[in-house]
Structure 1
């Protein structure tokens, strides 16, 4: 039987006759496996490492080594067992998909075979965006979409924004999100125990021989049918997310606002797909259905033309192309760039005030989305106020610890609460769920420092929801005695004079609270440290900070108005304020919050070791427009951490 290729893209799917792991010799695999396990990062956000044979993170090759093949098969095995116990069925239905990384196909083949061998029913989508596979499994658990049985869980192969040689695995149930931190911990512990068993490799080899090549061939032949089901489910779900309603009349009302404005004034959107999984998704169809004119570059899967993370230099091709398009057609004012799995994306805009295109910071994008979604809640009556202007409804925004305090200022204008969790999508989603159980309405949540928003009922960041929020903000305009979204924001934030009928996206951005935040992917925000015990590092940092504070407090007060500080720790879904021992932050986030003479929080410095990359991240967030303060605080933080690392 010959190797099989995908009929639409021509990309290699696999060779059904080649059984994985059969050529591995147990006497030679031990050292290689031990090394691979040391470099494997296991977290609720995903299991990640460099999978390419060369070990080089920028290697675009598609083959993976024996040790990583063993790791992948073990991961699939433990997830199969976990899901069977969790839902109480011996034959769960599992969706398997991948982003557009070259190693994804080899990893998927092993996962599919292992799941089938353990009795699971597998449906394979091939290349699919992360929000799409999660919408598919969620929607499939509520109603029939072509099959008699609902969907029980998913395995998604991706390393998100990491370089192309990286890859990883995400696991989830049918609630449409990745496993919670507590559930992920169970899976990780089982994996670590399983892979160390002396007879484990032999068991895997025997298990994989039970899967017939005809079964794999049949699975590959159904890819287009399964992918179309996922596409339809995602489109259906996106309509609900962006409009905030399952009611088709309400959906049509919201979309009619967008269509009316886009058709009257024109709306051109450029997408730099960068060869990501979104090349196979709903973006173009959805936006064109709303009256937008869509242009795209790098729009073939695996046509990865530049760095994957949609930050900084990665936005330049989109920015330059948007500028050229705007010269030809002034309707082109917006562009976006997703990461490889398509669950986040950052924006470029045409700024008419400076007469050129520019990239937006991730924190800026999230702030715009918060304004849009909170104003939409006011517009629809989900967020109401009494005669004194106090919110009647209990509304909250859930964010991660390095999200800018700009969000707190926005929330204050709407009189809603802000809650923070440790970095990690699972933590923020879990926090939002907990808040809903406490009676809060949580429409928008996310990780501002990383870019992208999560809009309820979605449980994952999604650039199409980001664009949807921006379109609502631009197109749901004031009519007679009804205020549009931007006017609602202007009124509530005390900027009524800033509203004008011919407002643009640049007009809106200029009304956002002013903050300077370190970009999460700026070189100066990333440290390589030797200390593996992050709790110990933070304990050392505390002694250094306390000494430095005494030396600098008069200068900080006179130059920046900083007169006091408070230490906060973030672990999982919990925030602890005014901690006395910085060691309590452990592997989580540690923040030093600064206040001024009026007891107003005006800045912070923050640190945390990445859970998905071998780096230590730092940042500063400062109210105002003076970049020098942010640079000073960040440099100071960096020097103190480096000193603590060298103790």
Structure 2
């Protein structure tokens, strides 16, 4: 800004902790006011608008309806002035946030990308202009899937041309699984989305950060390079250069995929892994339908790398932004790829799988051909279970590859205790699978960042975390990746289905589970020998209740009171299903506490509450789970029930009871 003498002075950002000492981040306000009229008549601060108050801000991301007409399913490309101000304020806050971590003397460096939603380009332009106006080096990668962007952000390839430099952070524009009229942000550091605790710190900065209105107006007026302040022209040119080119992003992502798939950083092991999968494909060809649904994954490496692995690939709706149907890869949204798979399989039996990602490309689901030749959609819980099975049974394959080549795995799995990290709504089927391999199951609250944070804690305790994920939505995180990625999950399935030789994941699982599998098992073969559970899907109408709950602690207390009151009657029929007692689990972030009452939860009390039902020998057989969504204005419910405890009959009774308890608690809360 200018001082009383009209000279330019640098303004350092302050945080609650005080001044940022020697921070590389500065912003300048020189030439920011286009006229004396602008300076006099535009308010100096942006108040929190009604748009901002409607945004849902949590560890899962910041999102809301950006469609200019307020339509959740709208396809408008422009954004309102209030939405623009939100984007500027969010960007400015993230820059302040990153400045607290930076140890470098050169400008902050941020990688920017978006999914394929209609409003993405308008938001991305606003973010880029804001960052440049703040003196930040921003690299705009355009439409990219988020696993690809996060992999590139921490890859050595992303540092080409820089000395002692990497990306300080990632801004990714998305609303994940929400309808196309929504949009928002995910923020990343060190190859993953920021943790729940860090997101809360960022949110606090957002609520205290009220940029000058004149600065915001000037950002929008700076449309050509000649109009930029002189001290920012070099930064602007550098930001628009092709330092982080598309090829570098793709190369960094391919390296990440092969590292996760082969469990090795050694190129020789990775190449041998692909060779073994290709040999399996030659013996038993496999065709894969991919319905991109106009998502950001349409720009990624999926087609190329799957073809290199020997699969036959047929892509549907592969134009980014051409979103044909619903975004969530479940239920009716999967019908396009399911029907195409069934039709093509009748013409050629090699077409056996179909796959659809969501719009930002960090989760997906599949359909497979059953024994009758009909295409069936897998549930999210089934897909996650298959990937967990593959990862647990895989060391026999990857170890043999490494031994034959004289190399080593990324982690010596025999040295460390093993763990799998899942969210609190994941089916008990995972516990049954992990028990076959002597692997601990650890549960975190719903949300990708919660799972990765818990995994980090377990690693510090000496655990080797084999896989992280959320069975409730099918999201899989296979180390060393720190983000959900359906392509790593797909390669894990290919390993399960097409590994060549005697010691395969399929043979390892069959030995441990005491089941018989054919030489070339199908997805259906594996599904039939998994532990049998029925679990509520996220698109099931019974899975959500639209309700406004002003006091979550009061609501949960009322639910617990109603449960205790009804338990004596309900246990009469539950005992016939072999269920004799229960426990309550309350999960917040990375903490799961066992116990009933307020003393087992913390403000703001928005974590999950789960009643786990056990049989006479203490084995978990079913659960009732609930939690307010952090990304949508709904309350989510899940029932999980084993076949041993009565299957569908017990499941339906538990769902009725669970919903009755929620409705009773809502009346009291």
Please report the TM-score for the alignment, with normalisation by the length of structure 2.
0.86
Choose from 405, 411, 429 the match for 2:434. Answer: 411
**More moved, 273-282 vs 546-555:** 546-555
Give the length in aligned residue pairs.
608
Aligned to 2:178: 162
How far is 1:638 from its partner?
1.3
Distance in 1 of aligned mates of 2:545 and 2:483: 28
Corresponding position of 2:125: 109
Q: Show structure 2 runs of 5+ residues with no match.
A: 1-33, 227-232, 403-412
**Residues 124-181 of structure 1: CA deviation (Å, up to 9, x unaligned):** 11100000000110104x77445554222110000111000000101111x2101111
CA distance in 1, matches of 2:44, 2:166: 43
Q: Which among 487, 491, 498 is matched to residue 511 of structure 2?
A: 491
The answer as to 2:559 corresponding to 1:541 is: yes
Of 555, 559, 584, which aligns to 2:573? Answer: 555
Deviation at 1:381, TM superposition (A): 4.5
| Rounded Cα–Cα distance in structure 2 between residues aligned with 1:411 and 1:91 | 47
- Classify 1:145/1:244 alpha carbon distance in 2 versus 1 (closer, same or farther; 3 Å): farther
**Cα distance in 1 between the residues matched to 2:487 and 2:330:** 17
State whether residues 156 and 171 of structure 1, in contact with CA within 8 Å, keep that contact through their aligned partners in structure 2.
yes
- How much does 1:355 deviate? 2.2
- Choose 374-383 or 318-327, whichever is displaced more: 374-383
CA contact (8 A) 2:44 2:212 kept: no
1:584 equivalent among 576, 585, 601: 601
Q: Partner residue of 2:258?
A: 239
* 8 Å CA contact 1:367, 1:406 repeated in 2: yes
Q: CA deviation at 1:208?
A: 5.5
* Contact persistence 2:427–2:533 (CA under 8 A): yes
Instruction: Note the residue ranges of structure 1 that are not aligned, 5 or more in a row.
Output: 1-18, 384-389
The more displaced of 176-185 and 625-634 is 625-634
- Distance in 2, matches of 1:408 and 1:48, equals 33
Q: Aligned residue for 1:377? A: 395
Among candidates 622, 628, 653, match of residue 603 of structure 1 = 622
2:331 corresponding residue in structure 1: 312
Work out which of the residue numbers 280, 286, 292 in structure 2 matches 1:261.
Answer: 280
1:205 matched to 2:193? The reply is: no
Paired position in structure 2 for 1:614: 633
**Bigger shift: residues 549-558 or 211-220:** 211-220
Q: How does 1:6-21 map to 2 (within 5 A)?
A: none
Alignment CA distance shift 1:614-1:200 (3 Å): farther
Conservation of the 8 A alpha-carbon contact between 1:125 and 1:223: no
Q: How does 1:100-139 map to 2 (within 5 A)?
A: 100-139=116-155
Moved more, 528-537 or 156-165: 528-537
Match of 1:634 in 2: 655
Q: Does 1:331 align with 2:347?
A: no
CA RMSD of aligned residues (A): 2.5
Checking the alignment, whether the CA contact within 8 Å between 1:276 and 1:338 is kept in structure 2 is yes
Q: Distance in 2 between matches of 1:443 and 1:315?
A: 29
Q: How do 1:208-607 residues align onto structure 2 when only pairs under 5 Å count?
A: 212-213=224-225, 222=241, 226-351=245-370, 353-381=371-399, 393-479=416-502, 483-495=503-515, 498-558=516-576, 560-581=577-598, 584=601, 586-607=605-626
Secondary structure at 2:70 match in 1: coil
* Structure-1 residue corresponding to 2:81: 66
Q: Quick one: distance in 2 between partners of 1:180 and 1:114?
A: 24
Secondary structure, counterpart of 2:126 in structure 1:
helix
Q: How far apart are 1:202 and its partner, in Å?
A: 3.2
Q: Distance in 1 between matches of 2:395 and 2:519?
A: 21
With 68-77 and 636-645 compared, the bigger mean Cα shift is at 636-645
Question: What stretches of structure 1 move > 3 A for 4+ residues in a row?
Answer: 22-31, 142-149, 206-225, 378-383, 390-393, 579-583
Higher Rg of the two aligned structures: 2
Q: CA contact under 8 A between 2:59 and 2:449: conserved in structure 1?
A: yes
1:10 aligned residue: none
> How many angstroms does 1:636 deviate by?
1.4
**Structure 1 residues 160 and 252 mapped into 2: Cα distance closer, same or farther (>3 Å)?**
same
Distance (whole Å) between structure 1 residues aligned to residue 634 and residue 398 of structure 2: 43
| TM-score, with length taken from structure 1 | 0.89
